[in-house]
Amino acid sequence: MATEPKKKISPRGKPAVPPAPRAAPPASRPFLRFYHSEALRKSMLKVLDAVEEAADPTAHRVALADVIIELMHSGFDAYFLEPLKAAKAGFIIQQSASLGLTGAQQLMGTVIRNIIGRMDGPQLVSLCGSIRALMR
CB count, 10 Å around CB of 72?
A: 16
Residue 69 lies in a domain: yes
What is the pLDDT at residue 114? 98
Residue 38 lies in a domain: no
**Predicted TM-score (pTM) above 0.95:** no
Position 65 pLDDT exceeds 80: yes
Task: Encode pLDDT of 11-58 as tens digits.
Answer: 555 555 455 455 545 557 787 788 899 999 999 999 999 999 999 999
Residue 29 lies in a domain: no
Three-class DSSP category at 89: coil
What is the pLDDT at residue 7? 53
As for how many domains the chain has, the answer is 1
Residue 62 lies in a domain: yes
Q: Select from 29, 64, 30, 26 the least CA-distant residue to 44.
A: 64
pLDDT: is 21 or 111 the higher one? Answer: 111
Domain that holds residue 73: 50-134
Q: Which residues contact 37 (CB under 8 A, 6 or more apart)?
A: 74
Task: Encode pLDDT of 89-99 as tens digits.
Answer: 999 999 999 99
- Name the H helices within the chain: 38-53, 61-76, 82-86, 91-117, 121-134
> Whole-number mean pLDDT of the chain?
86
Residue 18 lies in a domain: no
Residue 87 lies in a domain: yes
* 8 touches 14 (CB < 8 A): no
What is the pLDDT at residue 22? 56
Burial (CB < 10 A; 0-12, 13-18, 19+), residue 60, is buried
